[in-house]
Structure 1
């Protein structure tokens, strides 16, 4: 009988202790353009709670003890923001934080344009990665006339491409053959278009549909262990949290063919049913 009472008492205590925690979730966005900010560093004080926002700017703290906290967000190129958060038992505290771009600090003036914003996102993600990674944003890709992903990837350090019919097709990471590398799209494996090998034809993917290129030169435990050279993850464009219109135009002249060269890439986004 005593053992039964002791067991019941321990069960009640464990349930009571478990009930005194709650999660904290939210999103980090740009205040001016309402775009998500991936790779932001978030900290809850008091305590030792840290996390990093994902590629959609979302974050979560699990099993946070009940109480009042201060949530601090830091991001390269943006001003540090703080917000009060109250955690209640078994209730999710939802927080939305909009960061402002860097301003005047003493005699130094920080100018943050749209192209630098995109590169700041890539640098934040690269800084917080646990492995050796190169991350390139769409704004950085747009600086060069690369029509496909193969031409864009070959500009990354430690990466070369095998050309086929004049196009950068097969990826080589750290000097290892294309068969020893893997390519994923938003984390999902891309199969080869050829039936007798593992090579992914990078010249078939247009550069306009990609928001970020992540080249992982060392694998982590959450990745498939079948890429000795490395893994390339292509992140497609995400829908903005507000109305968004963008366009890319370029032109030139080919003296050999005596014809003009031009290309354009318009884009628009609008969230519905939020």
Structure 2
């Protein structure tokens, strides 16, 4: 029984030592408001870095950490960077509460009487307060979005928390809506044939065979799509534009394969076999797009 206990202990202790984790919350020191999408970096003593960001409650977590000493660094736009060394060699689950202070150097000579809420979660929508982000006069809406934490604007698309944004609202009003309706038809067929010829010579074990295989496929498709765009402005009535798109796809493919085999009996236990294979494929693709403005 003592041997069994020792074996169990020897297995359990290493697993327990490796099950380290670090979690915490990041808030504003003065208002106690959660800081959303703050960048959290954890650096091991060997210099290896891991990254994450805070969620809507300012929460972050690192799991399955090796025991050792780490450096925790947190950055957020308009705030002083936070840095702290943590010892994760003894406690399996470490929880920290981080309070960050605004950087007065970034505020300049502006007297701050109160700070507006930067983001608020309502249902499945994340609402940002544009007044809480400073941009230069004449800046575009894209410049404003790029200032918001957790928002990435690239190639005409907007991402929040790594997910693509489907709709942007300005004071609850969409700036663009698109409705689509489409229908299509496809015609396709495949035709194939195989031919095999075999000749046996008078000499035992000597044969000559030829196999031919052919295939033809054709795909012809048409797709019709109607688009209706509704453009909203803050001071004018909605404007609409519509257009239709016709897409035709033609795909043809031909293939031919041949296989030539020759066998010769050398001895009762030894046979010679020679083979030759050849294949040929030809394909054609044709795509047409026609757009008609209505």
TM bin (shorter chain): 0.3 to 0.5
Q: With CA pairs under 8 Å and 6+ residues apart, which has the higher RCO, 1 or 2?
A: 1
TM-score by length of 1: 0.42
Q: Structure 2 length normalisation: TM-score?
A: 0.39
